[in-house]
Amino acid sequence: MSECIETNELMNYRHAFHAGNHTEVFKHAVLSIVLDMLRLKPRPFAVIDTHAGLGVYDLTSREAARTNERAEGVERLGNRGLRSAPVYTSSLASTRAGAENLYPGSPEITRLALRGYDRLILCELHPEDGESLRRRYRSDPRVSVHLRDGYEAIGALLPPAERRGLVFVDPPFEKTDETGAIGRALVKGFRRWATGIYMVWYPIKGSENGMKIEAAAIEAGFNDVLRAEFCPFVRSGLELAGSGLVICNPPWTLDRKLRQLCEELSTILGHGDVTWSVRLAFDEGRGEQS
């Protein structure tokens, strides 16, 4: 289980400490599925990653070794990958080809999924992490790195010239008003680019974060909102049980694909206490839980 233990679902979720854990597997698998669906049409797309982190993580680093959370996440996959998320599986294989101890974060998973004419915009406020991103991707003209606040970037960088794509919001949840900041960002996003896909990740200890973010998305004006949650562990309200994603303007049939993902992950992660749900905000009858 995670060492991120705080009250009122406040956490300090710096990616380096949690690389490859169960929440990362779920989140990155979903991201890869959405990217694959974007590639189905020939038109170019852009992805804005608001809290990019380092891009690639060393699972033997001091931070990762301190928590050893990969043991309940990516290590449970072994070399089999996920049938329901082939792009995620190929991202793992490509990254591990450089070294077995490496794990791809959202920037690397997205970069590997880009076609020659798609774009990736990475935002990272931490100066050292931002400079590391710039060094890593300086030779790829499809990738640009901004040392700036990701929430502010939603107002400044939208809409992208492509008018098609994804805003991926993956904050550390270290602020007491993180869900409020997400809600304000969604309002700005809807006003500037109402047709874009917005994917917001949140940790789960209880049930508060997901309900708040879903309500904020609806209040911002989005008519199509999907909420998917996957918890390998019991929701005690104290420890990190799992994570969820609120997705605005989800691609058609994404809910079905995420149910397939959750069913597969249920056989791999956790210790018999797995719960999951995939529901459309305005269609209660289509949600499922196992």
Active site positions, annotated: 170
- CA-to-CA distance for 104 and 59, rounded, in angstroms? 10
Helices (H), the chain: 15-18, 22-38, 62-67, 74-77, 86-98, 106-113, 127-137, 150-157, 178-192, 208-220, 254-266
DSSP string of 143-199, one letter each residue: EEEE-S-HHHHHHHHPSPTTS-EEEEE-----STTHHHHHHHHHHHHHHH-TTSEEE
b/e for 132-165, b at 16 or more Cβ within 10 A? bbbebbeeeebbebbeeebbebbeebbebeeebb
Nearest to 231 by CA among 146, 289, 164: 289
Contact of 71 with 142, CB cutoff 8 Å = no
